[in-house]
Amino acid sequence: MSFLYPGFYEDAEKRKVYWLPEMHELGKQERWNDFIDFVAGHYEVMPDAFNQYFPKMPDEYKRKMVKECYQHNGEYYPECVEAIINLPCNGVNELPSNYANKEVIAVYRGDYADALEDDIEFAPSWTLSIDVARFFRNRKGENGKVYKGYISPSDVIAYIDDREEKEVIQFGSVYSVEIIE
């Protein structure tokens, strides 16, 4: 399928209008795996997908949709963030086995220099790797911060490692947060 025209990639609203019919067709057909893959790959339609289809989607697909969308720009859409923080905690089933059975695990977060420090424990994305946190600290310059906190595996909502970021998704469960770098 060729859809290149001048300005196509720069205009998110035009892209959204272009992609909506395909999203609606997949949703009407209840082809949920295809629907999830499509929405995760076309972030412009995420708000519509979460508002119109997520509530009626069978429960066995909801966690997959939220995780797939979240890791593909979903953190910028309130509908996706709300869906992820409302998922039941599932960490002991998703974390690597060497973490799932621990009482407490250390998590890290890297933020660039002008990121807000208030309520950092509510930031959904943390990592099990200090090196990944350092990468995110430095992505907009070298004056960022690396935070360290602790969480119980039972409080982890989801674990995503498709991009080798060892990402722990949580909401308000990280405690004893301190700046370590």
- Give me the mean pLDDT over the 18-27 stretch: 94
Instruction: Give the predicted TM-score (pTM) of the model.
Output: 0.80
- Give me the mean pLDDT over the 4-28 stretch: 76
Query: Considering only 3-7, 45-49, 127-131, 143-147, which range has the smallest mean pLDDT?
Result: 3-7
Q: What's the pLDDT tens digit per position in 67-87?
A: 999 988 888 888 998 998 889
pLDDT reported for residue 51:
94
Tokens of 152: 């119980």
Q: Highest mean pLDDT: which of 75-79, 113-117, 150-154? A: 150-154
pLDDT reported for residue 3:
44
- Give me the mean pLDDT over the 87-95 stretch: 90
Q: How many residues appear in the chain?
A: 181
38/18 Cα distance (integer angstroms) = 13
- Give me the mean pLDDT over the 108-114 stretch: 80
Residue 136: which of 120, 105, 116, 113 has the closest Cα? 113
What is the pLDDT confidence band of residue 112, given thresholds at 50, 70 and 90? confident
The average confidence (pLDDT) of the chain is 87
Rg (C-alpha) for the chain, rounded Å, is 18
- Give me the mean pLDDT over the 114-134 stretch: 84
Higher pLDDT, 55 or 122: 55
pLDDT reported for residue 123:
85
pLDDT reported for residue 148:
96
pLDDT reported for residue 114:
60
Longest dimension (CA), the chain: 55
Name the amino acid, one letter, at 161: D
